[in-house]
Amino acid sequence: MYNKNLTIKRKFTKFLLQWHKKFNKRQMPWKGEKDMYKIWLSEIILQQTRVEQGMAYYNRFLVSFPSISRLAAARDAEVMKLWEGLGYYSRCRNLLATARFITSELDGQFPKTYPELLKLKGIGPYTAAALASFGLNQPHAVLDGNVIRVLARYFGIYENAQTGTGKKIFSNLAQELIDLQEPGIYNQAIMDFGATVCKPISPLCESCVMRKNCFAYQHQQANDLPVKQKKSVKRQRWFYYLLVQVNGAFLVRERKQKDIWQHLNEFILLESPRALSKKQVLASGEFIDYVKLSETLPAVSKEYSQQLTHQAIYGRFIEIKLKKTPPLEGYQLKTKKSLQKLAFPGFINKYLGEMKLKEPNTNKVLAFYEFKRLMYL
């Protein structure tokens, strides 16, 4: 059972705010912001994203879409392209949906209460608390990884925050500790404290102003807290993409299925639960008809990979050239230059950044005709 001493709780809030006012030098462009649109934009971008990476995206979004009405009026493809590289693209889809809802249904104004904020698409308890405290000065405590780590160490909480009981313990404690007069400042302080002092690795315990009453410091258990959830085994998937080039343009489509990378662009895909050989890929039902018509020897790339939170993507890219556009529903021809304007998953962008389509040289002519002969056997 963790330390529930009321005096200890009061000292925690007092010392945390003192630390914030005297020592917290962490600078971020949205810090102290009262504009609900800017707060919301920063919080959505920072979900599952490091602050250092998120800053550049935040600034670019504000340049392109300085108001929620401008964001709501933007084309999906334009916003997805700007989001490209941040991952977790459902955040971007929710961003657009919420911007359009607020603009069309709420006259461009964010709700004024925590429960109403929670009803917006893509906004959970943490984001709603951030908006309510930073933008409306309402006492709703944020609870993220930094906050959980600080509370677990200081109060000696051994309950896993991912369990039902753990979530309740941390949520209730966080709400008890929040400063009612300055909830926004308190929330910013505890998150910054966790990011800069009570860090996941090598916390600055010896110079910490909170160490006198910190359970983890007194018991030398900073490395044991918070209790972490066991990592689940990642799902592995193999994606093989066929780049069909017709007169210098490529067949591309928007990914529609409700899976990773929905609404991003891709080439003709063969997905497999295991790695395939070059021969297996080229002879697959998805590719063989196009490969037989190729005017060049198929160029097979090296293996590429992308690590996502719950799955790992591996695969290769195969380039071929055709004289005529094959009848493929949903695909469009895009020039190499126009590919740069489309949003692709990081997995594909890695390849496109290195892609150099070459004309077949005379040294490969015999190999090409031998390949064609074997394909028709």
> What is the CB neighbour count within 10 angstroms for residue 140?
23
Whether residue 362 has pLDDT greater than 80:
no
Q: What does CATH list as the number for 6-218?
A: 1.10.340.30
Q: What is the rounded average pLDDT of the residues 36-59?
A: 95
pLDDT tier for residue 233 given thresholds of 50, 70 and 90: confident
Question: In the numeric block, which tokens belong to residue 180?
Answer: 């009612």
Q: pLDDT tens across 128-173, in order?
A: 999 999 999 999 999 999 999 999 999 999 999 999 999 999 999 9
| 6-218 against 235-375: fold identical | no
The domain ranges of the chain are 6-218, 235-375
Q: Give how far the C-alpha of residue 31 lies from the chain's centroid of Cα atoms, to the nearest Å.
A: 21
Side-chain-side CA neighbours of 157 within 13 Å: the count stands at 26
Q: Comparing C-alpha atoms, which of 248, 234, 255, 237 is closest to residue 345? A: 255
Whether residue 368 has pLDDT greater than 70:
no
Whether residue 308 has pLDDT greater than 90:
no
Q: What is the pLDDT of residue 245?
A: 95
Q: What is the rounded average pLDDT of the residues 167-190?
A: 97
318 strand-pairing partners: 242, 300
Q: What does CATH list as the number for 235-375?
A: 3.90.79.10
Q: What is the pLDDT of residue 99?
A: 98
| Range list of H helices, the chain | 6-23, 36-46, 51-64, 68-73, 76-83, 90-105, 114-118, 125-130, 136, 145-155, 164-177, 183-196, 215-218, 278-282, 288-292, 336-339, 346-354, 365-375
Whether residue 357 has pLDDT greater than 60:
no
Catalytic machinery residues: 43
Dmax (CA) for the chain in angstroms is 84
Three-state DSSP class for 63?
Answer: helix
C-alpha span between 33 and 151 (Å, rounded): 26
Task: Fill in the DSSP letter of residue 315.
Answer: E
Report the amino acid identity of residue 355: M
Q: What is the pLDDT of residue 3?
A: 66
Q: What is the pLDDT of residue 369?
A: 47
Q: What is the CA radius of gyration of the chain?
A: 26
Q: Give how far the C-alpha of residue 10 lies from the chain's centroid of Cα atoms, to the nearest Å.
A: 36
Q: What is the rounded average pLDDT of the residues 180-204?
A: 97
More confident residue, 327 or 222: 222
More confident residue, 80 or 7: 80
Whether residue 324 has pLDDT greater than 90:
yes
